[in-house]
Structure 1
Amino acid sequence: MKDDEISKLVQSHSRALASGDATAFTSIFDQKNAALVRDQARVFANLRKMPLAEKSYQVLRRQGRAQDSFGRGVKFTQDVAFVHRFAGIDLRPVSEWYRWTIEKASANAPLVVTKVQGAPPTISGEVSKTMYFPGPWDIWPDIVVAKAGASLVLARPQDAALARRVAPTVSAAAASDLAFWEKNGDPDAAVPSGFVVALVEGKAQLGKLFRTAKANEAGVSIPMPRWGIGNDTVKIGGTRVVMDTASEFFRNEQGIMEISEHELAHSLVAGLDSAQFALFGRANWITEGFAEYVAGRNRPINGNRRVSEGRAYVAGQLAMPFDGKLPTNALWDFKQMTSVNYLMGHLAMRFIAQKYGERKLVEGVVAAYRAPGDDSEAALFQVLGVTRADFERQWAGYVRAQLA
């Protein structure tokens, strides 16, 4: 078997999707496996509903014996990228990685795909066990696409009514976040004008869309690296926002607005990420604090859902007492402290906005994103022109005053 056989197989699959030829699309799969063919026919139908400006399959890496000098049958796995870009939403094409099991019965037999699963990451230690797999098109029987201004809300058929109800709120959240950026952000920076939001029900589903991981959040913005190499300054091509409709945020309209503004704020600045390897990563209090600030900037802190926890923290009633220090990534999730750490990040951003102004706040956050992850705090403090020690001292006083 030669490399060009694989290339031709993948190219024909791309052409079939682009031209809308369902028969050609499913023809590469094992026709004796009715369930596999049926699943892939559904993937095809779902993908045809997606407003994609670009879509193709590209060859990645291969494992196993892909050729036999004696002309015997071979079986191997081939990783394939589904490269795609949502029109008007993704800054660059992104990719979802599949692992195909391929068999070739004899030297002259065609290649047949006998199994489709998600490909694992190339770097060990990644949180997700798969590379942006599964998409909703892979696992949902059908996809409802609700327009939300320049954004999209994707849902399963049983959530169609909910998707239509949520869409105006997602649209309003996007408009609010983009207005904040337009007023305070760098006009030349690469930011999206719309977002992809998918609705799921429960933590198990939340951890199994565009990733395979354990989920503890109510919502997540998943950054996806752009496809291809080169000296493009944009490293993150787009994001996928997934929200859990079983979470407390979906009990009322204000909660849906809050979680939408929060997750879309993450997505708004994701394209500014340097995406450089970091041991500890960007400081969570900056990342989460910024998203919380953008979502709650027009409401008094007394109305924040986390404020009673914050008061208990300052009063020394939680697992760890408030010591006037910013939360660290290492202890971010320590003993149910996550929620209060979100509040501390939020209060850090409120303090910055009050003392230095919102433009300086955005400039500092952007500097933190553009710096290598471990240098994010130093980059922010440099923009503010303050030492970490001085900042923490002033911020701790502010926190105590706010939560008195």
Structure 2
Amino acid sequence: MAGRRRAWWIGAVGLALLLPLTGCGGGTRSDAARTEVQHLLDRRSAALLGHDEAAYAATGTRTEYARLRALPLASWRYQVTAVRPTGSGATADAELSYRVAGYDTAPVDARRTLTLGRTADGTWYVTADEPAEQAGQQLWDQGQVTVVQGAHSLVLGAGRPAADLRAYAGLADRAVPAVSRAWGTDWARRVVVLVPRSLAGMGGLLGSPAANYRGIAAVTTGEAGGSGQAPADRVVVNPEAYAELGDLGKQVVLTHETTHVATRAHTTAATPLWLSEGYADWIGYLGTGRTPTEAAPELTGEVQAGHVPAALPGDKDFGFTSDPAKLAEAYESGWLACRMIAGHWGTARLDAFYRAVGAHPRRAGAVESSLEKVLGTTPEAFTAQWRAYIRAQLG
């Protein structure tokens, strides 16, 4: 966070400074203030991109500059949407768009609220730049950003030592070629990993209560594909849950999340979570030597107790607030479905099936149509085959 906001020029001086935003012709004067603030933020952005700390400081607080200076930025732009007067100046709502050089082909968008002061001669300056209400934090909101560059990865941490981040880079650098070998090379073949200080920091980045992610080692952010432009994905790590994993588990998690980055352009609203999560686990476990009973312990216990699931898990079964055992069963069920497809129809058919589902124009019928066209089967026959496969592998 940017620290405490300071109240400047209260009383009569404060009232005088509010006049340009109010009074007769308020709409026009408000528009003028918005234009002035936009120019201020344009100068601030240019100074940040140009690594000109003095010019940045001339526009207001330099807290963000100090926290961001190590981040390789290709672009940084604010679009002011509203300016509101306050007793000490104004607040501005803005849409921030930025790209990390060498990694983002599309910008990351973030809603921000800026606190503004005004000098005696009427010049605006920034006193704070924070997430808008109900918007997630950016990593620099949590402190100075430390950057570690890998061969195929960029790892960004807040409150984390560089040595810690280099370990993540090593895992990500092994994940990227592993995913490319299985999925193909029609993706950026690089990944950005965010490592906050704590579980609370993870929740802040995702704009959700931290409790929702307790026990979740990592998640991938990004819009679903299909627009023709790859989004700016981020793998966000829960350092507390991640630390509890062994070396193999850590690698599986990073490879799983990297798979989501690779497949994002082909993952749409038509793609059920059993397929997207199951496919990511399928690549994550490739070459690890893990047996089905080792990789699917929760489902193994259910099957050996005589409880074979009647149907593939629905999207709601993958909610992070679900019962942990049921959530694990959902992931394991999706993984075994993808493993079955690869084993029975071949890995090329599994990839083709994934892409066909995502390319379907409507969510309804996407799986059914792709099962028929790519695998030559029906939902009923596929489910029956999957249930028999589960019994054979886990029983």
Does TM, scored on the shorter chain, surpass 0.5?
A: yes
Indicate the residue corresponding to 2:323 in structure 1. 335
Q: Which runs of 5+ in 2 are unaligned?
A: 1-28
Indicate the residue corresponding to 2:6 in structure 1. none
What CA deviation, in whole Å up to 9, does each residue of 1:252-296 have, x standing for no partner? 32122111101111111123344xxx6xx7422112101100101
How many angstroms apart in 2 are the aligned matches of 1:101 and 1:225?
33
In the alignment, structure 1 residue 401 sits paired with structure 2 residue 392: yes
In the alignment, structure 1 residue 233 sits paired with structure 2 residue 236: no
Among 63, 75, 80, which residue is 2:90 paired with?
A: 75
Amino acid across the alignment from 1:51? P
State the shift of 1:211 in Å. Answer: 3.8
Q: 1:344 to 1:100 in 2, by over 3 A?
A: same
Among 310, 318, 335, which residue is 1:324 paired with?
A: 310
How many angstroms apart in 1 are the aligned matches of 2:95 and 2:107?
15
How many angstroms apart in 1 are the aligned matches of 2:345 and 2:80?
48
Conserved 8 A contact 1:249-1:258 = no
In the alignment, structure 1 residue 197 sits paired with structure 2 residue 193: yes
Conserved 8 A contact 1:88-1:193 = no
Counterparts of 1:3-402 in structure 2, within 5 Å, are: 3-29=34-60, 37=61, 41-52=62-73, 54-62=74-82, 64=84, 75-81=90-96, 83-102=97-116, 109-120=122-133, 129-130=134-135, 133-140=136-143, 142-156=144-158, 158-182=160-184, 189=186, 191-209=187-205, 211-213=207-209, 214-216=212-214, 217-223=216-222, 233-234=228-229, 236-247=230-241, 251-274=245-268, 282-302=271-291, 305-316=294-305, 321-333=307-319, 334-336=322-324, 337-371=326-360, 374-375=363-364, 376-378=366-368, 380-382=370-372, 383-402=374-393
How many angstroms apart in 2 are the aligned matches of 1:138 and 1:263?
24
Name the SS for the 1:389 alignment partner: helix
User: RMSD of the TM alignment (CA)?
Assistant: 3.0
Amino acid across the alignment from 2:220? S
Computing the radius of gyration from Cα coordinates, the structure with the larger value is 2
How many angstroms apart in 1 are the aligned matches of 2:189 and 2:251?
18
What CA deviation, in whole Å up to 9, does each residue of 1:359-382 have, x standing for no partner? 121122223334467345345424
Conserved 8 A contact 2:180-2:189 = yes
Q: Which runs of 5+ in 1 are unaligned?
A: 30-36, 67-71, 121-128
State the shift of 1:390 in Å. Answer: 1.3
What CA deviation, in whole Å up to 9, does each residue of 1:349-398 have, x standing for no partner? 00111122111211222233344673453454243332211110111100
Q: 1:154 to 1:303 in 2, by over 3 A?
A: farther
Q: So what's the TM-score if we normalise by structure 2?
A: 0.79
What CA deviation, in whole Å up to 9, does each residue of 1:173-224 have, x standing for no partner? 1111122222xxxx6x4x1121111223543222122544442421011115
How many angstroms apart in 1 are the aligned matches of 2:246 and 2:89?
56
Q: 1:76 to 1:87 in 2, by over 3 A?
A: closer
Amino acid across the alignment from 2:380? A
Q: 1:64 to 1:338 in 2, by over 3 A?
A: same
Report % sequence identity: 23
Name the SS for the 1:6 alignment partner: helix
Q: So what's the TM-score if we normalise by structure 1?
A: 0.78
Pick the structure with more helix per residue.
2
Amino acid across the alignment from 2:138? G
- Count residues with an aligned counterpart: 356
State the shift of 1:335 in Å. Answer: 3.4
Amino acid across the alignment from 1:111? W
Conserved 8 A contact 1:65-1:75 = yes
Conserved 8 A contact 1:306-1:339 = no
